[in-house]
Amino acid sequence: MVKISEIVYKRPNKDELLNKLADFKRRFEQAESVEEFYSVHEEYKKFDEEVGTNIRIAFIRFTQDTRSEFYAAEQDYLDEISPEIAVANAEIAKCYLTTPFRKQLEQRFPNVMFVNLQMAVDAADPRIVPEQIEENKLTTQYSKLLSGIVIDFNGERLPMSGISKYFTVADRDLRRRAYTAWGQAIEDNKEELDDIYDKLVKVRTAMGRKLGYEGYSPLGYLRMQRNCYTKEDIAKFRANVLKYLVPLASKIRAKVGRELNLGQQYLYDDNVYTAVEPKPIGTPDEMFAAASRMYNAMSPETGKLFDQMVASECFDVMSREGKEGGGYCEGLPAYKLPFIFSNWNGSAGDVDVLTHEFGHALEFYKSFFIDSEFLSGVSMETAEVHSMSMEFLAYPWIDLFFGDRTPEYKFTHIGGAVTFIPYGTIVDCFQQTCYDHPDMTPAERNALYNRLEKQFLPHMTTEGLPAFCDGRRWQRQAHIYQSPFYYIDYCFAQFTALQFLALSQQDYKSTFDKYIKFLDYGGTKTFTELLDACGLMSPFEEESFRLVVASCEKILNL
């Protein structure tokens, strides 16, 4: 059994890759039968898996220690060559779209694959390669900046991700001081953070305009594989969030405020829902043992995958200096293995990220065996349904992690899920406005963010907190810098996950079966088609908001 740490990384040679891809293109174009086309397809798939795995290993090791000179250099190199590789792969994608065997291909591959390939081709125009290279350099600069920040707090030296363990403590003054230190770290680096984002907005806008669009948004939607809903649909969702979920979130926070006697609620109160913080019990090893027990009880498939990942060292979960913040799940198709990265800090979020990322891991594993997935995988909002729903589907075993604090954990978790959606909507609206008005100054962007917070989070204030009171909270949200428009996906997914929660309260087994069905489709259907196929509600319909709100109010006893 392979272990992640034993996989050998070899720097890919750009010219060799481009020559190989050009050869695949030639062979696809010269195929004299659909059988010959399929034969080349199988070779290309194997090649893509090997190259993709190699590149992802470099990324994983860079994020594990951003101070590594070797992997930092490799990441810079890969940032440099990836736009040209993307263009070459887009040329191959065109072969699937233009081949005289298209009708035979449509019998083997799902229709959405051709839709997504066309979007990928349109987004990977060779004219914007220079701008993509600059974009990659800027996002890497942001990553290095944030991961290199160390905060001296409470007798500890903490990375940006590490200080968050104080955000949920019962001591309100300690939370305030932790948020103050966190905000001060952003304040101390505000000029560079402003400069990086300003350059990103401008270089992305230049990309869009070079392709004939008014700005970046249409290109951004192509890159995010928005294949079944529009900017107008998202605006409708935002309006319903404001109408239905903001009042629900405020009702939840009002209950917390009464029970904890908070008075005016501040940003540093946002992650606290109960008088005693529900922290996971046991050592990290004991938590992994509990997770193994849970996933083996959940289903044979989930148990087998989890234990295999542990044996293959597919988890890096402890926070440390130099390690990039946040968490992710990455797939290594050549080895049929998912890899989970996170930054545990002793809070309930450690369990959340474990269950969340394992939802991604389960889908990655299933996708390795779907023929079309390497060409056109699941869209982002669909992928987040996999992960967020798994958090709720872990509930029958969640006492293994929280013991007699399980009720407090559930209230915190569900309350956090509901109140997250207005925040995520702010992030999306902020980004959309920034790209609709690319000439905004840094001060104007911060003022915009402040206005949105007051509108969507009326229950709290950032008054008196460095950086945050000036509207700079967004600068810690890496997606805004690294993956524009990738945040509303979380909102759609959280909304759908709340449906899974409601259904699981009625009949867990049938709900879990529905979840597995949702995963089994992989990227063979669009998000809205998946919802319909699995009997779930659309986030674009007002009626769905009324149903979700009613369900949450009942579960939370509001």
State pTM to two decimals.
Answer: 0.86
Instruction: Give the pLDDT confidence of 236-260 residue by residue, as tens digits.
Output: 999 999 999 999 999 999 999 999 9
For 26, the domain range is 4-135
415 part of a folded domain: no
In a domain, 285, yes or no: no
pLDDT in the model for residue 311: 96
| pLDDT one-digit tens code per residue, 495-553 | 999 999 988 988 999 999 999 999 999 999 999 999 999 999 899 999 889 888 988 99
In a domain, 175, yes or no: no
How far is Cα 269 from Cα 267, in angstroms, rounded to an integer? 5
DSSP 12: P
How many Å separate Cα 285 from the centre of its chain?
26
Separation CA 174–CA 168 (nearest Å):
10
pLDDT of 346 above 90: no
Average pLDDT for residues 300-316, to the nearest whole number? 97
Contact 325, 343 (CB under 8 A): yes
Q: Is the pLDDT of residue 377 over 90?
A: no
- 498 is a domain residue: no
Return all residues near 451 (Cβ < 8 A) that are at least 6 apart. Answer: none
Say which residue the tokens 């000029």 belong to: 191
Count of the separate structural domains present in the chain = 1
Q: What is the CA radius of gyration of the chain?
A: 23
If you ran DSSP here, which 8-state letter would residue 346 be given? S
Contact 186, 472 (CB under 8 A): yes
Task: Identify whether 79 is part of a domain.
Answer: yes
pLDDT at 422 over 90: yes
Q: Is residue 406 part of a domain?
A: no
Nearest-angstrom CA–CA distance, 544 and 384: 19
Burial environment of residue 529 by CB neighbours within 10 A (0 to 12, 13 to 18, 19 or more): middle
Q: Is 369 among the domain residues?
A: no
Our CA angle for 476, 413, 490, nearest 5°, is 50
Closest CA to 188 of 235, 229, 150, 155: 150
Measured distance CA(288)–CA(282) in Å, rounded: 10
